[in-house]
Amino acid sequence: MPLNMFWDQKIETLDRAALERLQLQRLQDTVQRVAARVPFYQQKFAELGVKPDDIRSLANLRRLPFTTSADLRANYPAGMLAVSLDDTLRLHTSSGTTGKPKALFFSRQDVDNAAELCARSFVMTGVTKKDVFQNMMTYGMFTGALVTHYGAEKVGCLVIPAGPGNSERQVMLMQDFRTTFIHLTPSYGLYLATFLEKHGVEPRRDLALRKAFVGAEAYTEETRRKIEEGLGVDVYNSYGLSEMNGPGIAFECEQKHGMHIWEDHFLIEIIDPQTGDPVADGQPGELVMTSLCREAMPLLRYRTRDITSIMLEPCACDRTHRRLNRITGRSDDMLIVRGVNIYPQQIERVLMAQSGVGRNYLIALEGLDEMTVKVELAEAGFDGQVEHLMKLQSHLAEKLRAEILIKPQVELLPPGSLPVSEGKAKRVVDNRKM
Ligand code: DLL
């Protein structure tokens, strides 16, 4: 492994025993701080009869209470703070849909740590200060852009704070400033690929682009492949959530096989979302995270709702921080249609693997319990022969039935007819009258 692929080689390759000692020390410190300063945790500790000194090993983590997103909303705006407001430096909110958002405070140290973890995450794919970063995540209350912006600046890259959308301008900036890497959502990645194709931009010929960090929403390996082909890049999965800094929590290294989660900053558990018990090693379940270094707003055993599993085998890159498998969805994303449990990801996998199918789709639930999968055709997908369309339609319906066990209606649409999303896509519209 070339030395320049590490931002902080010592910590990234720390042996497990030392890493766990560090985790325990940081966990104990975090527990002491919240017990002294956060009324929410004081009350939870009292209910469970736990005291900070009870946490003598990492296994004792299970004695601590879970924290949920409902707890954060209930303590909005500043009830979860472990420092005084004077010591906070930045506010982000979660990209929630309705009602009050979750307010996430950062201290100076938190801002710096978040940038540090992004720097590690970029550098492990080979990014150096010579790179030019065009940040296509949304700037604003969302963590996606600002946190990676600071991370890339820390590495010394030239950062172009483009934000998402306005694809014509994106292409101009990429050409004029020889952008080498970008960070964007998979939905915008798919759209940008279509845009390049439509405008005759051949990325390998016309752009200097080499890498795309893609995250903020769940996507499949098939989608990764489509973005890689369409943008002429290597795609690295980037995972994070606002409650734990935003992006930079778990990214893929140059192996592109599982995301290293920075375990010196986060303790992870995988639990059965129904019972709250740990699953067997390597099995899928809900990711639960405890922050180990967050100063302004430490969180214990935060229920992410994200479904994933821990990869058991060591990584060829020599990092000792374990890898998470691709997030397959959120436990609260699951749809129940005609009594069958379905994750939108299953549908995406079928669509994106099908030739002739474009890059944008929508799952519409209507009527009593009917599912229609609306999908755009590829730009060159329709040869004018109606029977070819009908064949594709019934083929897709069959493929979907094999995957999700019910047969949806399939609607094939001309390219560009579904709404485009630049941030997180809304893939499911539920208008059922039940
Ligand atoms: O999406 C932080 C982020 C920004 C991560 C940019 C990566 C890149 P939130 O808005 O709080 O924060 O949403 C967090 O998005 O719990 C997952 O459900 C989902 N998510 C984020 N990254 C991925 C990913 C940011 N790579 C929520 N794969 C998380 C699947 C993802 N889901």
Give the model's pLDDT for residue 39. 98
Contact residues for 60 (Cβ-Cβ < 8 A; gap 6+):
54
Residue nearest to atom 28 of ligand 1 (CA): 218
Residue nearest to atom 16 of ligand 1 (CA): 241
Cα 217 to ligand 1 centroid, rounded to whole Å? 5
| Alpha-carbon torsion angle 351, 356, 360, 364, nearest 10 | -60
Residue pLDDT, tens place only, 60-103: 999 999 999 999 999 999 999 999 999 999 999 986 656 788 99
Cα 215 to ligand 1 centroid, rounded to whole Å? 6
* Model pTM score: 0.94
Give the three-state DSSP class for 148.
Answer: helix
CA distance 164 to 95: 15
Q: What percent helix, strand, coil does the chain show, rounded to 5? A: 35, 25, 40
Cα 120 to ligand 1 centroid, rounded to whole Å? 18
Query: Which mutation among 306, 308, 328, 421 tests ligand 1's pocket best, with the greatest number of atoms within 8 A of CB?
Result: 306
Cα 241 to ligand 1 centroid, rounded to whole Å? 5
Q: Which two tokens stand for residue 122?
A: 């970029």
Tokens 């794919």 sit on residue: 125
Give the model's pLDDT for residue 433. 85
Give the model's pLDDT for residue 58. 98
Give the model's pLDDT for residue 294. 98
* 108-123 vs 143-155: helix crossing angle, rounded to 10: 70
| Dihedral sign computed on CA atoms, order 70, 71, 76, 82 | negative
Cα 94 to ligand 1 centroid, rounded to whole Å? 10
CA distance 427 to 421: 10
Cα 48 to ligand 1 centroid, rounded to whole Å? 31
232: left (phi over 0), alpha (psi -120 to 50) or beta: left
Give the model's pLDDT for residue 352. 95
Residue nearest to atom 13 of ligand 1 (CA): 241
Cα 239 to ligand 1 centroid, rounded to whole Å? 5
Are 199 and 207 in contact, with CB atoms under 8 Å apart? no
CA-based nearest residue to 274, from 296, 300, 316, 303: 303
Counting from 1 in the atom list of ligand 1, the atom nearest the Cα of 240 is: 5
Query: Which mutation among 183, 239, 245 tests ligand 1's pocket best, with the greatest number of atoms within 8 A of CB?
Result: 239
| Bond into 77 cis (ω within 30) | yes
Q: Which two tokens stand for residue 265?
A: 């900053």
Cα 183 to ligand 1 centroid, rounded to whole Å? 12
Residue nearest to atom 4 of ligand 1 (CA): 144
Query: Which mutation among 261, 327, 348 tests ligand 1's pocket best, with the greatest number of atoms within 8 A of CB?
Result: 327
Cα 216 to ligand 1 centroid, rounded to whole Å? 3
CA distance 57 to 52: 12
Tokens 């690295």 sit on residue: 236
Residue nearest to atom 21 of ligand 1 (CA): 216
Mark the ranges of the chain whose per-residue pLDDT is less than 50: none
CA distance 191 to 274: 36
CA-based nearest residue to 282, from 333, 251, 341, 322: 322
Give the model's pLDDT for residue 384. 80
Cα 214 to ligand 1 centroid, rounded to whole Å? 10
Tokens 């492949």 sit on residue: 225
Residue nearest to atom 25 of ligand 1 (CA): 241
Tokens 């080689």 sit on residue: 9
End-to-end CA distance of the chain: 57
Are 317 and 255 in contact, with CB atoms under 8 Å apart? yes
Pocket of ligand 1 (CB under 6 A): 94-95, 137, 143-144, 215-218, 237-242, 246-247, 304, 306, 327, 330
CA distance 310 to 15: 18
CA distance 83 to 295: 7
Give the three-state DSSP class for 142.
Answer: coil
166: left (phi over 0), alpha (psi -120 to 50) or beta: left
